[in-house]
Amino acid sequence: MAATVHVLTTGYADERVASTVTLLRDGDTTVVVDPGMVADRRRILDPLRAEGIAPEQVTDVVFSHHHPDHTLNAALFPEARFHDHMAVYRDDVWLDRDADGYRLGEHIELRRTPGHTAEDISTLVRTEAGLVVLTHLWWHAEGPAQDPFAADPDLLSASRRSVLDLQPVLIVPGHGEPFSPGERTPV
């Protein structure tokens, strides 16, 4: 059985900022991606409970990058392992590993996708419908075409192309609604 993807809260970035927080389920693996800033923690916890999951049941948390708007609420998940571009963390244990190709479950894999920051990773999820990619390469469906925080626009573009080359059926961006990539998706 393939993994499932459920957006717990849809983010935004305008006069206020919140990350898109997503739940992934793959067998015994329960993952929350980017539990960052939200208007109220209930915007993460209530939808999680509606899915029948207590915070203590989350096995893994993934940070697409280390900006506070994507990490601030990590402590909501006391039993989880935490994943970033270079390591896995749990309690007082720090295990170095490269995220590129690291598997959290049979259908969930991490991939290095530098662009928004040099340390960005994307989460690739194989679902019944096809590949879903959770990434901050796009903030929302429209881009922005030029990420104002990207130190290297060419690297951002190359990472965007590498994700689009995977032919995902859906992209879950850092601060917006999931979208199906198409001709108008900024590269």
Chain segment 102-118, per-residue pLDDT in tens: 999 999 999 999 999 99
Task: Return the number of other C-beta atoms located less than 10 Å from residue 127's C-beta.
Answer: 16
Residue 178 covered by a domain? no
Residue 141 covered by a domain? yes
Residue 86 covered by a domain? yes
Query: What does DSSP say about strands 121-127 and 108-112: parallel, antiparallel, or unpaired?
Result: antiparallel
**In whole angstroms, what separates CA 136 from the centre of its chain?**
7
CA–CA dist 81, 61 (Å, integer) = 6
In this structure, which amino acid lies at residue 80? Answer: A
pLDDT of res. 36: 97
Class of residue 70 by CB neighbours under 10 A (exposed 0-12, middle 13-18, buried 19+): buried
Arithmetic mean of pLDDT, 163-179: 98
29 SS3 class = strand
Q: How many domains does the chain have?
A: 1
Residue 186 covered by a domain? no
Predicted TM-score (pTM) of the model is 0.97
pLDDT band at 28 (very low <50, low <70, confident <90, very high): very high
pLDDT band at 125 (very low <50, low <70, confident <90, very high): very high
Question: How far is it between the farthest Cα atoms of the chain?
Answer: 46
Task: Return the number of other C-beta atoms located less than 10 Å from residue 133's C-beta.
Answer: 23
Residue 187 covered by a domain? no
Query: Is the Cβ–Cβ distance between 121 and 85 less than 8 Å?
Result: yes
CATH of residue 38: 3.60.15.10
pLDDT band at 143 (very low <50, low <70, confident <90, very high): very high
CA–CA dist 73, 12 (Å, integer) = 16
pLDDT of res. 151: 84
Residue 161 covered by a domain? yes
